Every structure is written in structure tokens, then in C-alpha cells.
Structure 1
Amino acid sequence: MAVAPEGTPCWADAVFDDLDAAKDFYGHVLGWTFGETSPDEGGYTQAYVGGKAVAAVVPPMPGQEGTSQWCLYLAARDASASATAARIREQGGDLLMEPVRVADHGTMCLARDPGGVVFGVWQAGTHEGFQATETPGAYCWAEVHTREPEKSDAFFPAVFGYRSKQLEGEMDFRVFDLGERSVLGRMRMTDDFPPEVPPYINVYFTVDDCDAAVARATERGGVLRFGPTDSPFGRFAVVGDPQGATFSVIDLTTTKGEMPGTEPVG
């Protein structure tokens, strides 16, 4: 498996106070199985679909309790303080965790863009990231949700070399491209979002039936936040898990409507 190009979403994990409850929920909703929980690695536990790693769940460090949220990691050739981490600071972002080597798995840091969006950076070692994407249970897409889109629109292309294009229509939505491939979206948070909801990255997981996945989620105590709704990209819904982490599920095979036009910007 080749290492993902710089700026490509390459991994996702989330902190949960109750790891067993998280395993039960996501195993039921997305069909995940789980590897061994290693005390030597802080309880970090990988999730699998068909034997391929697709995400991870982890218990909180002291002071992290009650803050469940999915974190998307963007690939870096060099995550060190002299490379990607330096660009993050130069462009007005903050480092929440300085670059740290994780055994021989790779090097990571946690950062926040100038508008408050938290994300991770991953320089691959033996752990190259997602082993499967765009199949049921696996990651397929993510969107930066922010109330200050102009900050994210300047920050992410400057740090990761994205080209930007604006979707035509009433919704303020931008897409970041690497080469010919769209890798990340950016959506302006409107008044439909409660004021207490912070900016975040919404991670999408693929399912073979959106409505059935929503039903499985609510059966296990999840909350439907939006949808299910049809789109040219697939039928999707936004769900909150019982511990407060928000994510989306999407059936990529059920599409409706014409693809929106785009206009290059920047």
C-alpha cells in the first residue's frame, strides 16, 4: 500500500470515555470488529472491516473526559516542527500537540486552524493509514464545518497545497483538490447549527443502506441530527453517537439529482 500524498485524509480516530460502549455502537452500526487494546499504547484500539483497518477508538487521557469527537488526520511527508507543523503556525494555526513519534507506526501532531477546526497530521511509518475506503464500514469523505470559512479557505490550501473550487448554488460549499482528485470539503455553518456546536470536521463512513444504518444507530442510543436525504453524491444522514461524537453515513450507490457545477477560486 502506497503512502497517501500530502494533504490526503489518511486516518480517523475518536476518544470515548466508555470504550466498550463505543465498540458495541460502531460494531452494530458499521459492522466493525476490533483488534487488541494495548495498555502500552494508551488503550488505542483499531477497528476493522473485512480484516482491513478503517479507524480507531481510544480512551481519554486525563483531562479529555467528556469530549468525544472524531478526528481526521491529513497525510504529511514530514510532520516535524520544521515542515508541516511550521506551516501550520505560519498560516495562523495552533499546535495542540507538538509532533511526536509513535513507536515505528509514524509521527503525529494535533492542530487547529485559525477558525477553531481541530485536525490531525500523520507522517506514515509502518502504519500507512486507511487500509480500505469507500466500501461499507469504511471512510469515504470529510468536510470542514466552520463559521469562518474565509479562514479555512486560506489556511488549508496554504498548508497542504490544495486547489480550491466553489460549488454553485445557495449553499456556501467549497472543495479542496489534490491534482485531479477532490479530497476534502468545506461548508459554512449556518444558523441551523446550534451556537454551542463548535467548528469541526464531519467524517463520512460508507454504508450499503443509509436508512438501515440510521435505524441501527438509533436502536443503540444514537441521535439522528439530519436526514436521511438524497443528493447527487449519495443518500446520507448525520448521526450523533451516544457519547456525543458526530459523524455521517452515506450510501454512495443511491444518488439523486445532477452534480452541481464548480468554479475555481484562489
Structure 2
Amino acid sequence: MTPSTPGSPAWVDLGTADLADAGRFYTALFGWSAEVGGQYVTFGLNGLPAAGAGPLYGVGQPTAWSTYIGTDDADDIAARVAANGGKVLVPPFDVEDQGRMAAFLDPGGAPFSVWQPGTMRGAEVFDVPGALTWNELNTRDLDGSMAFYHAVFGWQFRNSSMSGVPYVVAKVHETPVCGLQPMAPGSWPDDVSPHWMVYFAVHDCDIAAEHARALGGGVVQPPTTLPIGRYAVLADPQGGLFSVLAGAR
């Protein structure tokens, strides 16, 4: 992954019911530093911005990680989302001089956001332990999702599989940027909505899972070996889901 590439994930942040406890949990789990600015926390890794966190603003909104896709023009993306069956939840607005953002739902109901960089480019560290290493859309309409994200971001796609399960890799200029995974009937509970999952790199998946549990979090999907490495789905103490991946390389 590379920073500030239009069409690729540029930032992730956590909306949480307990910002102070989220800071305690994630700084201990990933070795992040925490820089507080108002009601927003920027987590750093090796002196570089890695992720963020802020409070919940909507009544009944669950604690969740959000994926921000980089763009040169947030307003153009908002128009494309609306024209292709998505929903504009938060129209584009300036975050002081740091950048411009907007929030959407894709046609399947998965929330995502965009980031148009200003003085803040987004994450500046990837693919090392404690940093973002992958983003993945879990969707109940794979063909519809591919058509939507192609129209909005120009993504191209490569069909693949993950342990025998169909999997699609999205590409920008032949560079893989994220994945799309079909939520096959019977494989996912009916009450789980389409969503974007964030993956953070770790040295050792099993140790990270146990560490998360010891810090008050939970293990939703136990450590599992895939061709790309060993991963687990974890939950923070407020219920925010995320994954960790110890890559095979």
C-alpha cells in the first residue's frame, strides 16, 4: 500500500463509544502513540500517522472502523456515488486545512468515506506490524459492488479465490489496492450487514489475538492460516471489529 494514491485506501479511523478506553486498548495492542486534537485522536507508528479515532455522533451508532478511499476531488466522487445508486450520508466538507472528506453508503449498504488530502495526506505507514495492510469489502452483491466501485473509482478487477472461496482483487493501474469478498448465503449471519473490514499487520497473529483478549477485547474469528498468511478477526472492548494479519512473506 502507498499513501495518497487516488482510488486506494488512504486512511482508517474508529468511531467509538469510549474514546479514552479505545486509546488505552489500541496503543497497548499495536504500540501506537496517541496525539489528541480536540475530540479526535491521531494514532502514530514510528512517528508517522497510522490511523485515527473519534467519538460517535449518531444516536445508536455502533463502534466501528471506517475506510477512507483517497481522491483528488471529493465533490466529483459524491456526484458519482449518487449517480450510481449509492447514498451521500455526509456531503463533502473541509476539515480545516487538513483535507476534504465525505461519507457514503454503497448500493449494498456498506459505509465508506473518501479523503481528499490537504496538509494531512492520510496514513503514511503501511504493511509493517501495527500499520494498515489491507482493506476488504464484504458484500452480498459482488457483481453490483464491482459495477459501482468501477464507476466511482475506476477500479479494475481480478478474480481469485481464498482457500477455495471466490475472492476479487481491486486494482488501480494494475496495482492491487483492496479486496471484495462475497457474503455467501449460510456463511454469514443474516443480521450482519455488508461492510468494509480493516486489516492491521502484526508479527504473530496468535500472540496478537491473545493480547487483545487480555486487554479486554474479544476474538471473533480465531487465528486461521490462509495462503497469504495467518489472520484473525478481533473486537475491541466497545465492540469495534478489525482484523490482524501476519503475512506469509
The answer to whether the superposition gives a TM-score over 0.5 is yes
The aligned length equals 246
Aligned to 1:5: 5
> Aligned AA for 1:135?
V
The structural deviation recorded for 1:171 is 1.3
Give the counterpart of 1:244 among 223, 226, 239: 239
More strand by share: 2
CA RMSD of aligned residues (A): 1.5
Q: Write out per-residue CA displacement over residues 97-148 of structure 1, whole angstroms, 9 at most, x where no aligned residue.
A: 0000110000000011100111001100001011100011110101000112
1:185 counterpart SS class: strand
1:226 counterpart SS class: strand
Question: In structure 2, what is the Cα distance between the partners aligned to 1:220 and 1:37?
Answer: 25
> Aligned AA for 2:56?
P
Question: In structure 1, what is the Cα distance between the partners aligned to 2:100 and 2:190?
Answer: 34
> Aligned AA for 1:250?
L
TM-score (structure 1 length as normaliser): 0.88
Q: Write out per-residue CA displacement over residues 71-102 of structure 1, whole angstroms, 9 at most, x where no aligned residue.
A: 0000111101xx11111111111010000011
TM-score (structure 2 length as normaliser): 0.94
Question: In structure 2, what is the Cα distance between the partners aligned to 1:235 and 1:162?
Answer: 27
> Aligned AA for 2:168?
R
Aligned to 1:48: 44
Give the counterpart of 2:56 among 56, 60, 77: 60
Question: In structure 1, what is the Cα distance between the partners aligned to 2:183 and 2:216?
Answer: 26
The structural deviation recorded for 1:221 is 2.0
1:119 lines up with 2:125 in the alignment: no
Moved over 3 A (4+): none
Aligned to 1:84: 77
Question: 1:3–1:124: 8 Å Cα contact kept in structure 2?
Answer: no
Unaligned runs of 5+ in 2: none
The structural deviation recorded for 1:193 is 2.0
1:100 lines up with 2:96 in the alignment: no
Aligned to 2:181: 187
Question: In structure 2, what is the Cα distance between the partners aligned to 1:109 and 1:27?
Answer: 27
Question: In structure 2, what is the Cα distance between the partners aligned to 1:65 and 1:26?
Answer: 23
The structural deviation recorded for 1:3 is 6.1
Distance 1:78 1:146, change over 3 A: same
* Percent identity of equivalent pairs: 36
Aligned to 1:175: 169
Give the counterpart of 2:135 among 139, 142, 149: 142
Give the counterpart of 1:234 among 229, 236, 242: 229
1:172 counterpart SS class: strand
Unaligned runs of 5+ in 1: 256-266
Question: 2:3–2:124: 8 Å Cα contact kept in structure 1?
Answer: no
Distance 1:15 1:64, change over 3 A: farther
Question: In structure 2, what is the Cα distance between the partners aligned to 1:208 and 1:95?
Answer: 38
